[in-house]
Structure 1
Amino acid sequence: MNLSDIPLFSMLRGRMGHLGERQRLIAQNVANSETPGYTPQDLKAYSFQAQMRGVQMTQAGAPARTQAAHLSGTVNRTAAASTFKAVRSKDSETTMDGNSVVLEEEMMKMSEARMAYDAAVGFYQKSLNLLRTAARPPGR
């Protein structure tokens, strides 16, 4: 069994990828805190709707029904594949040389991203342990 076929693990992997990319951008902002004219970057918030763009689709444009008891529905197919795009965002202060990186704000963003990443890793590990327990033969 491939873990990427399980939607929960796929979404957790996407969330961890988003948070890793966010940490990379925040580190880039901190590294350029003395660069004249530098505007910090951040990622758009990770959303459930963005993950639903990657849902397996049928020919009619509805999510694939894997069981007869599932309800049919529709998903907007015009959305592009889920990729992370950096957006320039002004922080609360801009220095005389045009740099708008505020180190305190960047450190807060970094700790927030780190806590969210740790939570996602913990949830991933607990879900994996649950699968291992379910797959174990009785009496072991």
Structure 2
Amino acid sequence: MFQNLDIFRTAMAMAKHAGNQQALSAQNIANADTPGYRAREMPKFQDTLRGSLIDQKATRSTHLHGQSGRGADGSVVKTVLDPNGNSVSLEEEMVKAVDAKRHHDKALAIYRSSLTVLRTSLGR
């Protein structure tokens, strides 16, 4: 009955993605005044999740056909540059950071709710 508990893996993946987004937003904000710095952004959670629960992740470059086991790296944002070559928008980064917190809170709520359902079904 409990052989496949993908809801917990999905909630964990969502929380990790939100943490990576928060870290990337912090890095972008920290470099907001760095000349030539290009803002980076995470792909959407839906895009990073496709197939990740089925496929294994590599732990080194020669393992599992070279797939990386780390969280998704951000890609460079294609936006208008400031005169100093910087592409960070503090307003956009603040919105992304708040969105990452919402996603993290949602992942924790899903995890707690699923754990409650599991405990109830076991009679505990």
TM tier relative to shorter chain? 0.7 to 0.9
**Alignment TM-score, normalising by the size of structure 2:** 0.77
**Alignment TM-score, normalising by the size of structure 1:** 0.69
Q: 1: CA distance between counterparts of 2:19 and 2:55? A: 25
Structure 2 regions of 5+ residues with no counterpart? 57-64
Q: Confirm or deny: 8 A CA contact 2:48 2:72 kept in the other structure.
A: no
Q: Confirm or deny: 8 A CA contact 1:39 1:88 kept in the other structure.
A: yes
SS of alignment partner, residue 95 of structure 1: coil
Q: Which one has a bigger Cα radius of gyration? A: 1
Aligned residue identity for 2:78: K
Q: Equivalent pairs: percent with the same residue?
A: 30
Structure 1 regions of 5+ residues with no counterpart? 58-77
Displacement of 1:49 in angstroms is 7.3
Q: 2: CA distance between counterparts of 1:56 and 1:41? A: 26
Compare relative contact order (CA 8 Å, sep 6+) and give the higher one, 1 or 2.
2
2:122 is the counterpart of 1:135: yes
Q: 1: CA distance between counterparts of 2:18 and 2:48? A: 17
Q: 2: CA distance between counterparts of 1:56 and 1:31? A: 34
Root-mean-square deviation (CA, aligned residues, Å) is 2.6
Which structure carries more helix by proportion? 2
Q: Confirm or deny: 8 A CA contact 1:53 1:81 kept in the other structure.
A: no
2:77 is the counterpart of 1:89: yes
Change (3 A) 1:30 1:49: closer
Displacement of 1:56 in angstroms is 6.8
Q: 2: CA distance between counterparts of 1:120 and 1:86? A: 21
Q: 2: CA distance between counterparts of 1:110 and 1:131? A: 32
Q: 2: CA distance between counterparts of 1:30 and 1:126? A: 34
Cross-structure match for 1:55: 54
Q: 2: CA distance between counterparts of 1:48 and 1:42? A: 13
Aligned residue identity for 1:107: M
Runs of 4+ in 1 over 6 A off after TM superposition: none
Aligned ranges for residues 1-140 of structure 1 at < 5 Å?
Answer: 6-47=5-46, 50-55=49-54, 80=67, 83-91=71-79, 93-136=80-123
For residues 59-99 of structure 1, what are the alpha-carbon distances to aligned partners after superposition, in whole Å with 9 as ceiling and x for unaligned?
A: xxxxxxxxxxxxxxxxxxx9x567412101134x4211111
For these two proteins, the number of residue pairs brought into alignment is 112
SS of alignment partner, residue 52 of structure 1: coil
